Amino acid sequence: MQSPAWILAAIGLFAATPLLAQDPNMEWRLPSSGLMDGARTVIENEPCCGPSLGAAKGKDSDAAILATLPGMASRDGGTLRLKIAKDRTYKLTDCTDQPACGADDTRVHRLVAWWPQHRLYIVSVGLYEEGAAYLIAERDGQTLMTVAPPLLSPSGRRAVALVSNLMSGVNLEILDFTRDPPVLAGVTTMPTCVGAGPNSLLRPTPVWLDESHVTFKGVSPQPGDNANTKQLLRIVDGKPQWQC
């Protein structure tokens, strides 16, 4: 089965000079006609939020973070509510019932973070085979989709989001919070350091070393990848460069 069209295609560019790719879909948007990229999403003109009822359980539970945000976020079974400005509610409803929700329509929403510095809710979006994330602005409900929940830099001026697996290949995105609204762009090249091959993938866990350097840790999903190959991304003036 193919992933939904809005999941970015696997990156297979290996040029020596990295570039940022700005996709037209990498923009802030409001829900339209009750949907956000296929997810059941509306902004309601009523206040949020009461106590959570029927919170999600197990490894996908967001009960712990909901408990830290009383009056700002709540869950009622498959419905997640988030408080936005002017006493309004941003509501996301899961779609998991079969056969009404076919494989391509499956959506599961879990609150994974609140970034007070940026006044953003971070919501993971579980799909049938893949996933994504929404950054939702408290001030107006504008929403930005990323390939995965992003990781903030130490100062919070940047963030990276990464998917690296055999199904999707490598999808690496950088968020620039020095601009208003923040700008999302994709990195379209791969490191070419000693040990890298034409089918190598990034190791799956990005780690900020400082404000300008991101390394990638863990085990590469590509069998046979050299575990010692250097994967270090440097961001200078908002532009990424792979360093060997």
Backbone angles phi, psi at 185, to 5 degrees: -145, 155
Per DSSP (E only), the strands in the chain are 20-21, 35-36, 39-44, 73-76, 79-84, 88-93, 108-115, 120-126, 131-137, 143-146, 151-152, 158-165, 169-176, 183-187, 205-208, 213-217, 232-236, 239-243
At residue 161, the pLDDT reads 98
The pTM of the full predicted model, rounded to 2 decimals, is 0.87
Any alpha helices (H) in 76-180, and if so which ranges?
A: none
pLDDT at position 74, please? 95
Maximum Cα interatomic distance, the chain, rounded to a whole number of Å? 57
Contact assessment for residue 183 and residue 199, using Cβ atoms and an 8 Å cutoff:
no
Strand arrangement, sheet containing 151-152: 20-21, 183-187, 169-176, 158-165, 151-152
pLDDT for the residue 103: 59
pLDDT averaged over 10-residue windows placed end to end, the chain, 244 residues: 34 38 74 84 94 75 94 94 97 81 78 97 90 96 96 97 96 95 95 94 98 97 96 92 96
Query: For the chain, what are the domain ranges?
Result: 1-24+150-244, 30-141
* Residue from 84, 151, 138, 79 nearest 110 by CA: 79
H helix intervals, the chain: 63-67
Q: Where are the alpha helices (DSSP H) in 49-205?
A: 63-67
* Secondary structure (DSSP) of 13-45: ---SS--EE--TTSS-B--BTTEETTEEEEEES
pLDDT (0 to 100) of residue 4: 38
